[in-house]
Structures are given as structure tokens and as C-alpha cells.
Amino acid sequence: MDKFRIRGGKPLKGRVTISGAKNSALPCMAAAILTSEDITLHNLPYVRDIITMRRLLEDIGAHVLTPELRTHKISAAHIELQAAPYDLVKTMRASVLALGPLIARFGKARVSLPGGCAIGARPIDLHLAGLTKMGAEVFLEAGDVIARAPEDGLKGAEISFEKISVTGTENLMMAATLAHGRTVINNAAREPEVKDLAELLNKMGARVRGAGTPTIQIEGVEGLSGAQHTIIPDRIETGTFIVAAAITNGELEIKDCNPEHCNRIIGKLREVGVEIEEVNQSTLHARRGPRGLHAGDLRTEPYPAFPTDMQAQYMALMTQATGHSVITETVFENRYMHASELQRMGARIQVSHDKAIVDGPGKLIGARVQASDLRASASLVLAGLVADGETTIERVYHIDRGYEKIETKLKAVGADIERIRESVTAPLSSARDDAATA
Ligand code: EPZ
């Protein structure tokens, strides 16, 4: 398994370009299952999860062409298998996004129940409850979820989420596009990625209204057609690089981002001393402010609040801020795996239930640390960039799932970081060769 070796202490300076949002690309790729016509997606991030979703689509019979690295042309004209197998779902929970489109178009679906993961149990009960309300028969069989629509197809329904779920909202929105009648989703997720998916669905001929608000209305239609769509920039990668500029006391120009999707991230980071200038609609300028970093409490909540996917990166930053920061994680029940690794680098952090208290500033010393999940890995990279000495981060396949060539982007702005390839994991570049020949 690949590792990163980082020698800290170098302020980052220069320009980074943000890639497409993984969490928009994944549902948009799944949406291709809803039609027999071609769906062409541009600005896909070149990350492992996209490769996994492509494999899932091909395994069920879709054809995926990659005319260029970040463009996929997907044809689901000949889907033979209405199933997402365990070996794919266990590596990527977002495979469950095949469930809604498969049952909507084919009336049946078999999707392996995703196991828990490092950050929590992450059940899909809300997805299944919504499909049941739309008339689907849902039952478990040997670890798989089997969902069957009535003979005459799914019916529109009023669905109220007791808990906000991003992929739950996305799955049901996709299922509702081909249901008979109107579906109303209450307490819907409002993330920009939900809105981006709705824009693609409407380009395909769906009738989705209210995406981005707590109430989404979908009028079912007979069928959907092909479309082209460009994926929105990744707001979490954007936030991660803003933190990278601040934690290294450097200065970064961040291109091809969407500051509008980062309002609470920008607002909170400004509160703790990060200087962020919105240069234009797709460019930010970030650096540590002249008064340095100071502690700030944080509570993660669904969009438009501060995102849970930025909590680990924020924690790394607060290790360098003056004072005590109380972080409260409200979305996932176990999203502090990075804290123990940061402690091994000298950070003073106390974790208790949903709270983590960071006592800063504290010098970080390079160490051998282990990545546990995607965003925890990012926080370890950020800590390594500011730590004295050398940090080795193991199991960086976690970070490859959601950050496109992060070491290349960091090296280009002055970081002393290198990837140490271990022969076991097929390097991403081989997937690039595969993509190039598709
Ligand atoms: C999406 O995951 C993102 N993934 C996650 O990003 C992100 O952290 C999360 O939303 C929250 O913003 C993708 O979009 C592919 P949820 P998702 O359903 O949809 C509970 C990253 O780092 N819940 O919004 O799986 C659940 O356990 C990843 O890029 C149920 O109880 O998250 C969690 O506590 C990590 N039952 C909360 O709701 C359900 O049926 C929010 O989960 C569904 C969810």
C-alpha cells in the first residue's frame, strides 16, 4: 500500500486548481442508469471512487467511454444485471446510489447492504423506507437488499426524512423521476451536490423542483433521455487547500472553485484568523492573517452549515491556533479517528463522545501515522506539512479515493512530499492507462 513521506515546515505558495466534486460525480454517474441514451459527464475528478463507480456500471452491463481523462460517456442501453455486488459496495458505500435508478427503470434491484465504515454504522434504512413508501417491496436476502417495484411501477409519495441524508435524498430523487405521479421529499439534504444531480436529471427530461431547499418535488415522467453535464467543483477539496495555506503560513491562489458553495467554510476559517479573498466567481486567495490563528469552537451540521467532511482538516488547523477549540461532530458517530494520530504527532486533543477539545498552539513532530478514512487522511497530510521533521502516512489509498493527485498539487506549490509506491496496490496511473485506452 502506498505511503506519503512529508517533510514539514515549508510555507505553500502558488496556484492550485480544484477538481470536480466526487460527491456530485458519483450520483450523476449512477443517474445514467435511468436512460438508454448516452450521458456525458465532464470535469470528473480523477480519483479512485470514480474508477470504482465506473467498474460498477460496467459490471451491470453499461458501456463507459473515456474520450479524455475527466470525461465519461456512459451508455446504459444494455443493462443485464440489476445488482451492485458486495465486493464493490464494501469498498465504496456510494454504490448504493445504483438502487434508486435500477428500481425506477427496471422495477427491481439487488444491492449489497453496505457495511459500516471507519466513521460510523452508516445504515441505509431511510433510503429503503422511502422506496417502500413509493410502493416497492424491500427485503433482505443473504446480506443483499432486494427491492421490487409493483407491476405497474413505483408511485409518487410524500416522504419525510427523520434525519437528513445526502445519498438518501439523491437515491429517492432518482427513483421518483420515473414514478407515477408526484413525489415530495421533506427534510431533504440541501448540499450543492444534490442540486447538481437535479440539474442533470432535469437536462434528461425529469421534472425536479426545489433541489437545494428542504422540500423537493418530483413529477414522474414516462422516460428520460441522454444529456451532457459538467460536474461542480469540489468544495471540500477547496476547503482543504485553504487550510493548507493557513496551516503552513503560506499563500495560495485557488482556481476553478465555487466560493458560493463554501460560505460557511470560508466564514468559519475567517473567524479563526485565515485571510480569504474571493477574487472572482471561481477563484479564492487564502493565507494566514497577520494576527495569526486563534481558537474557534465548531459544530458540524448538514449544508448550509459547516460540513462534517471538513471537520478533520479544521482540527489539524486548530492544533496551530492559540486557545481551546471545542469541536462537536453531529453527523457521524465516530469521526475522530484522526485525533489519535494527531496526538501521536504531539497535538493536545481530548476526545469525549461527540466532542473533541483542541488545546493549541502546539508544535507537531513528524511521525509514522496511519490513514483511516478519506478526510482523516487529509488532516494527517495537513499536519505533516507543518510538523517538524518527517511524517510518513500509511494507507494513502484512503486519500486517493477523494483527492485527485494531492501530492502533485502540493508539490507544485512547494510542499516537500513524495509518494512511496508499494507494489501491492495497482498504482492509479495504471487506471489512467486503462482510461486512456477505453
Ligand atoms: C454523504 O454520505 C457523503 N458521501 C459523505 O462524504 C458525507 O460525509 C455525508 O454525505 C454527510 O454530508 C457522498 O455523497 C458519496 P448521509 P451519506 O446519508 O449520504 C445517517 C466523504 O468524505 N443515516 O447524509 O452516506 C448516517 O449514518 C464522504 O466524501 C441513517 O441513519 O451520508 C449519518 O449519521 C464521507 N440512515 C447521517 O445519517 C440512512 O438511511 C448522514 O448520513 C442514511 C443515513
Beta bridge partners of 218: 183, 208
What does pTM read for this prediction? 0.95
313 touches ligand 1 (CB under 6 Å) = no
Task: Name the one residue in this structure whose C-alpha cell is 479512485.
Answer: 48
Residue 430 banded pLDDT, cuts 50, 70, 90: very low
Q: How far is the CA of 296 from the centre of ligand 1 (A)?
A: 25
Closest of 122, 119, 231 to residue 168, by C-alpha: 122
The pLDDT value recorded for residue 65 is 98
Question: Omega into 361 within 30° of 0, i.e. cis?
Answer: yes
303 touches ligand 1 (CB under 6 Å) = no
Q: How far is the CA of 146 from the centre of ligand 1 (A)?
A: 21
194 touches ligand 1 (CB under 6 Å) = no
The pLDDT value recorded for residue 426 is 55
Residue 89, Cβ neighbours under 10 Å: how many? 24
Ligand 1 closest atom vs CA 236: 29
Model confidence pLDDT, tens digit, residues 366-396: 999 999 999 999 999 999 999 999 999 999 9
CA–CA separation, 213 and 298 (whole Å):
23
Model confidence pLDDT, tens digit, residues 194-250: 999 999 999 999 999 999 999 999 999 999 999 999 999 999 999 999 999 999 999
Active site (annotated) includes residue 262: no
DSSP for 159-203 reads EE-SS--HHHHHHHHHHHTTSBSEEEEES----HHHHHHHHHHHH
What is the distance, to the nearest Å, from the Cα of residue 272 to the centroid of all Cα atoms in its chain? 25
CA–CA separation, 31 and 204 (whole Å):
9
The pLDDT value recorded for residue 433 is 37
The pLDDT value recorded for residue 429 is 44
CA–CA separation, 79 and 85 (whole Å):
14
Q: How far is the CA of 364 from the centre of ligand 1 (A)?
A: 31
Q: Give the C-alpha distances (Å, rounded to integers) separating 133 from 130, 137, 410.
A: 5, 9, 47
DSSP for 296-349 reads --EEE-STTS--GGGHHHHHHHHTTSBEEEEEEE-S-TT--HHHHHHHHTT--E
435 touches ligand 1 (CB under 6 Å) = no
Catalytic one among 28, 117, 257, 262? 117
DSSP for 19-80 reads -B-HHHHHHHHHHGGG-SSEEEEES---SHHHHHHHHHHHHTT-EEEEEETTEEEEE-TT--
From atom 34 of ligand 1, which residue's Cα is the shortest distance away? 332
Residue 89 banded pLDDT, cuts 50, 70, 90: confident
Chosen CATH of 3-19+233-434 out of 1.20.210.10, 3.40.50.720, 1.10.287.3510, 3.65.10.10: 3.65.10.10
CA–CA separation, 374 and 398 (whole Å):
5
Residue 434 banded pLDDT, cuts 50, 70, 90: very low
Task: Report helix, strand or coil for 87.
Answer: helix
Residue 85 banded pLDDT, cuts 50, 70, 90: confident
* Residue range(s) in the chain whose domain bears CATH number 3.65.10.10: 3-19+233-434, 22-218+226-230
Over 90: is that where the pLDDT of 87 sits?
A: no
53 touches ligand 1 (CB under 6 Å) = no
From atom 21 of ligand 1, which residue's Cα is the shortest distance away? 309
pLDDT over 90 for what percent of the chain? 89
> Under a CB-based contact definition with an 8 Å cutoff, are residues 161 and 187 in contact?
yes
What nine digits make up the cell of 43? 470535469
Residue 58, Cβ neighbours under 10 Å: how many? 13
124 touches ligand 1 (CB under 6 Å) = yes
Q: How far is the CA of 344 from the centre of ligand 1 (A)?
A: 28
Task: Name the one residue in this structure whose C-alpha cell is 433482505.
Answer: 140
Chosen CATH of 22-218+226-230 out of 1.20.120.640, 3.65.10.10, 3.40.50.150, 2.60.40.10: 3.65.10.10
